[in-house]
Amino acid sequence: MATSPWVTWPALTKFGSLGVMVALLVLAAERQELLENNMFDTENWQEKNADIVCDERSLTARMEDGTCNIQENPAEGSVHVNFGRNVDPASVYAESNSGNLLNPNPREVSNLIMSRGGDFKPATTLNFIATSWIQFMVHDWFDHGPRTDANPIEFPLPAGDVLGGGTMSVQRTRPDPDVSGDEGIITYENINTHWWDGSQLYGSSKEKNDEVRSFVDGKLKVDGDGRLPTEFFSGKPVTGFNENWWVGLSMLHHIFTQEHNAIADMLVANYPGQSDQWYFDKARLINSALMAKIHTVEWTPAILANPVLERAMYANWWGLGGDRDKRDKYQDDLDNLNNNLGQIGGLLDLVGIDNGLGDSPTGSLEHALAGLVGSRTPNNYNVPYTLTEEFVSVYRMHPLLRDEIKVYDIGSNVVDEEIALEDTRNGDAEDLLGDIGQDRLWYSFGITHPGALTLNNYPDFLRNLSMPLIGDIDMAAIDILRDRERGVPRYNEFRRQIGLKPLTSFEQLTSDPQLLADLKALYNNDIELVDTLVGQLGEETRPEGFGFGETSFQIFILNASRRLMTDRFFTTDYTDEVYTAEGIDWVEDNTMVDVIRRHFPSLATSLVGMDNAFKPWGLNMPEEYQDWDAQTKQNHLWVNGALRTSYADSEVPAIEPIDIGGLINSVLWKKVQDVTDVAPPGYSKPIHPRGALAKVKFVPSAGHDFTGLFQGADHGLLRLSVTGDPSDRGFAPGLALKLFVDGKRSENVSALYTLSGQGSNHNIFANELSNYVQAEVNETLGTTTLFSLVSTKPTLLVMSDMAKVKQDGSAVGSPKTPSQIYFVPNSTLKNNTSTGAHDFRDDLTAIPAGTKVYDIYGTTQSIRTSIWPWVTERYARERRNSAVKIGELVTDSEFTLSQFGDTGIFFKHQRYEDR
Ligand code: HEM
């Protein structure tokens, strides 16, 4: 059997925390290898440095063109410097000259194995903000600039192409103007600074920088509504880099322009009397570092959702900051590893990893864990810092794009509008920002998925993209062609060059039979011919949680670290003195969630509990949930639970029959023991499966002396339901009420009319409901018997807990609890609701907010029963007659029908035994 070509370090995660540590060690060793073997310089520095003079300001500020970060080699990392290489230049053959440039035909590759063809494959662990974000970052890092008209690359359209016959013509990449021309190595310039310096906002030249600045208090130019000024002809914003513009990019440029200005405000408040230039320089440093941090510890762990990676990325950043507090988080890991040194070797052997990590695993671990903290002085490993052609190549992530954007109202999951992505480009993006509203767009991007980074998932619109002044282009064909043109090796050679094993068969890449057949046909059964992008997108074996495969990852770990460790402003000068103490705090204390919340307060509720803005927004239940105040908890469950999962009108599920088999012991025990507000995933309600949920208030009546929440609760949720399909066992209404408490668990009560219901009467308001119902001799369901498994009084729910606590969380000294309460339906609702067969949920969704739905009565008479049914009934009548009105239940919203209301929300039952 052929051995696997894939790296096995991720398999270590199955050994728990120690495995994660060992995997980090392997990762560090891999990075070290790459640093030593895979960095190649292609620049003539003497020439580049000739005219650069580093002034005083450059000691504490980023220069517009990226010069003087490294004072001894001031051109390093600056604009118009060549891309370096991660593969040996001697092995880089210009495909243009090798005769292989068009083999196979790039348009055929695009048609056959790149095309999405309407069959969108989502990346379900990410949201669409992640797509805009990475393009936003890429525009900070690099661009090859405008292409040249000279000598275009031309190739025939393959047979059967939708574009018909003829040829496709692609302009060449602009050649390096300073090419020395001797070694035959092809080089190209980066038209953006190579540094992680926010050049997509600030520009890569003094002229561009002057255009975007307001020159007042260090701020960037925006109009009265916080919008960026636009170019007269294109309608695109004036910002550092505005190519390939669409609405997702515009959202990010707007928010980080606003963030820059918020930072400038903070600086002006703390350091009055400084110059505009001083404020600008500091704000740029802080904003750029914040973006770099967000990318390192939020975007990357979202797309590579693997525990090893998360720690490695945290170490990259907080190791870098050298912040003791943050590093302490990992100190335990280090201790754990030190205590278990003996096991490490065994673990490595077990997963087949070469155990030659050197004699000092802890030393390597320091490097892995503490990341770049050891390199408090910038370290370029003796190769001047630049980004590389291979780095550009692995960020060809166009499949992340959708072909349309879906627009939702904040809090909703019902699509309000769909807009073709093509119609969100260039000047149209700015119109949409105004028409739709930036907050609705952020919400909409937060809950939709990007495309998965796989083959056959290339956006359709990009394969027929209209470019001003260029015409229609096929980006998939261009992506393939560019790598070949620039001498990025084909996939297998690429892997060899960066220390990975080459593949020996197509079967190692994918098991999809159609894709296999297409790949073999396209590449003439020659695995060596496979294009590097095709191989990378095709990798079916990926480390757990990884949104892209290990080949791209290898390039990524090298360059991601290098970008930080070579930059003076992320190492020696990442200090209070250079950034200001408030500036360092701003970087360290803010996340992408904070940034979005700061500029769009209307999204605060949608972001509750979100720890990573790039993961799909939804209902998260953070550990501290119980500590929140009553209103925040109610709002969270309502907006992120109910509203976000509400059914579209056409998708309301039918009411299922009761699932008696589902009333198993464990579910029943859960019902009486759990104190959560949300059921675990997979929990379903075996009885009362479908209902309607509304926000309610318990408005107390004067003059009764029941205590705690009976004295009023402003934040509750009411669910009205029936036990099961009424055509199965009759119409049996039920109610569940949850009242939230500041900083403590909620209190709940449920009520029924009777166990067996009200027969064919479909009016949900026909009868009073109560927390106590009498056992029934003929009850066909047998719920009494079943509930007897967990309680000696199976038809009673007690409410003593509700009387013990007030809404503000304070405890009641001498609680007084009603023994039984009665929910008496509002007579108008009762009289206006049909008794004939119909869906009761339609009655509920028609009720406006602010409607009293029930009067509530309570009694203190104890519940007595007799062996004589008529005596039991008399006791019941007496109790009812003794009850006094204690309050009203008034809706605070309309009723909604939602997945959360049907399967998510959980109402605890308080047993007689637990009173
Ligand atoms: C509507 C959205 C987008 C459009 C219209 C677009 C269009 C383009 C175009 C026209 C090029 C240059 C093609 C050439 O070499 O001739 C390009 C290059 C590139 N794009 Fe996109 N793109 C979009 C989104 C993205 C996204 C989401 C990513 C994700 C990382 C991305 C990554 C890249 C990269 C890495 C390059 C190569 C840049 C270079 O050669 O220096 N693009 N794109």
Catalytic residue list contains 139? yes
Candidates 83, 126, 135, 252: which one to mutate for ligand 1, based on the most atoms within 8 Å of Cβ?
135
591 Cα–ligand 1 center, Å = 26
Q: Name the catalytic one among 80, 139, 295, 599.
A: 139
User: What is the pLDDT averaged over residues 437-451?
Assistant: 95
Distance CA 632, CA 796 (A): 31
117 Cα–ligand 1 center, Å = 20
Which tens digit of pLDDT belongs to each residue from 726-766?
887 789 899 999 999 999 999 998 888 877 788 899 999 99
* Residue 276 identity (one-letter amino acid): D
The residue among 667 and 3 whose pLDDT is bigger is: 3
Q: What is the mean pLDDT of the chain?
A: 86
The tokens describing 43, both together, are 């620049």
Banded model confidence at residue 373, pLDDT cuts 50, 70, 90: very low
pLDDT at 206: 98
The residue whose CA is least distant from atom 9 of ligand 1 is 244
Best CA proximity match to 239, nearest among 271, 213, 215: 213
For residue 619, pLDDT over 90 is answered with: no
397 Cα–ligand 1 center, Å = 8
Which tens digit of pLDDT belongs to each residue from 771-780?
887 765 555 5
Core vs surface per residue 207-222: b (16+ CB within 10 A) or e? ebbeebbeeebbbbbb
Q: Say yes or no: CB of residue 402 within 6 Å of ligand 1.
A: no
506 Cα–ligand 1 center, Å = 28
Which tens digit of pLDDT belongs to each residue from 13-72?
666 666 776 777 777 777 777 877 888 888 999 999 999 999 999 999 999 999 999 999
pLDDT at 31: 74
pLDDT at 741: 96
User: What is the pLDDT averaged over residues 895-904?
Assistant: 89
Distances (CA, A) of 504 to 87, 501, 649, 862: 21, 9, 53, 80
For residue 592, pLDDT over 70 is answered with: yes
- 36, HSE (Cβ side, Cα atoms, 13 Å): 7
Banded model confidence at residue 345, pLDDT cuts 50, 70, 90: low
For residue 127, pLDDT over 50 is answered with: yes
Q: Give the list of residues 6+ apart from residue 253 with CB closer than 8 angstroms, or none.
A: 136, 200, 201, 228, 237, 239, 242
Core vs surface per residue 454-481: b (16+ CB within 10 A) or e? bbbbbbbbbbebeeeeeeebbbbbbbbb
Banded model confidence at residue 651, pLDDT cuts 50, 70, 90: confident
pLDDT at 361: 43
Architecture of the CATH domain 9-576 = Orthogonal Bundle (1.10)
456 Cα–ligand 1 center, Å = 18
pLDDT at 468: 73
Which tens digit of pLDDT belongs to each residue from 213-254?
999 999 999 999 999 999 999 999 999 999 999 999 999 999
User: What is the pLDDT averaged over residues 280-297?
Assistant: 95
Instruction: Select, from the ranges 91-105, 382-396, 535-549, the one with the highest average predicted confidence (pLDDT).
Output: 382-396
For residue 271, pLDDT over 90 is answered with: yes
Q: Give the list of residues 6+ apart from residue 418 with CB closer than 8 angstroms, or none.
A: 404, 405, 406, 407
Q: Say yes or no: CB of residue 143 within 6 Å of ligand 1.
A: yes
pLDDT at 710: 96
For residue 109, pLDDT over 70 is answered with: yes
Can you point out the beta strands (E) in 800-839? 820-825
Distance CA 671, CA 787 (A): 10
Core vs surface per residue 502-536: b (16+ CB within 10 A) or e? bbeebebbbeeeebbebbeebbeeebebbbbbbbb
pLDDT at 13: 65
Distance CA 403, CA 541 (A): 27
CATH 1.10.640.10 positions along the chain are 9-576
Instruction: Of 38-42, 144-148, 423-427, 725-729, give the lowest mean pLDDT range.
Output: 725-729
Instruction: Of 297-306, 352-361, 517-526, 628-637, give the lowest mean pLDDT range.
Output: 352-361
User: What is the pLDDT averaged over residues 693-713?
Assistant: 96
Q: Say yes or no: CB of residue 172 within 6 Å of ligand 1.
A: no
pLDDT at 684: 64
Core vs surface per residue 77-92: b (16+ CB within 10 A) or e? bbbbbbbbbbbebeeb
Q: State phi, psi for 624 to the nearest 5 degrees.
A: -85, 5
pLDDT at 104: 96
Q: How many helices (H) and strands (E) does the chain have?
A: 35, 14
pLDDT at 363: 46
Core vs surface per residue 852-886: b (16+ CB within 10 A) or e? bbbbbbbbebebeeeeeeeebeebbeebeeebebb
The tokens describing 692, both together, are 């309607």
For residue 792, pLDDT over 80 is answered with: no
User: What is the pLDDT averaged over residues 850-874?
Assistant: 89
pLDDT at 324: 44
pLDDT at 660: 58
pLDDT at 99: 77
The tokens describing 290, both together, are 């914040």
pLDDT at 326: 53
For residue 346, pLDDT over 70 is answered with: no
For residue 781, pLDDT over 70 is answered with: no
Distances (CA, A) of 112 to 170, 503, 517: 19, 21, 11
CATH 2.40.180 positions along the chain are 630-914
pLDDT at 605: 83
1 Cα–ligand 1 center, Å = 41
pLDDT at 540: 92
User: What is the pLDDT averaged over residues 902-908?
Assistant: 84
Which tens digit of pLDDT belongs to each residue from 556-567?
888 887 888 899
User: What is the pLDDT averaged over residues 683-709?
Assistant: 88
Banded model confidence at residue 796, pLDDT cuts 50, 70, 90: low
Which tens digit of pLDDT belongs to each residue from 623-645?
778 888 898 889 888 888 888 78
User: What is the pLDDT averaged over residues 360-369?
Assistant: 47
Distance CA 280, CA 276 (A): 6
User: What is the pLDDT averaged over residues 891-905?
Assistant: 90
Which tens digit of pLDDT belongs to each residue from 75-100?
999 999 999 999 988 776 655 556 78
The residue whose CA is least distant from atom 26 of ligand 1 is 135
Banded model confidence at residue 529, pLDDT cuts 50, 70, 90: very high
User: What is the pLDDT averaged over residues 309-321?
Assistant: 67
User: What is the pLDDT averaged over residues 841-858?
Assistant: 96
Q: Say yes or no: CB of residue 221 within 6 Å of ligand 1.
A: no
For residue 290, pLDDT over 90 is answered with: yes
Candidates 133, 138, 148: which one to mutate for ligand 1, based on the most atoms within 8 Å of Cβ?
138
3-state secondary structure of 649: helix
Q: Which atom of ligand 1 is nearest to the CA of 143?
A: 41
pLDDT at 636: 84
Q: Say yes or no: CB of residue 348 within 6 Å of ligand 1.
A: no
Architecture of the CATH domain 630-914 = Beta Barrel (2.40)
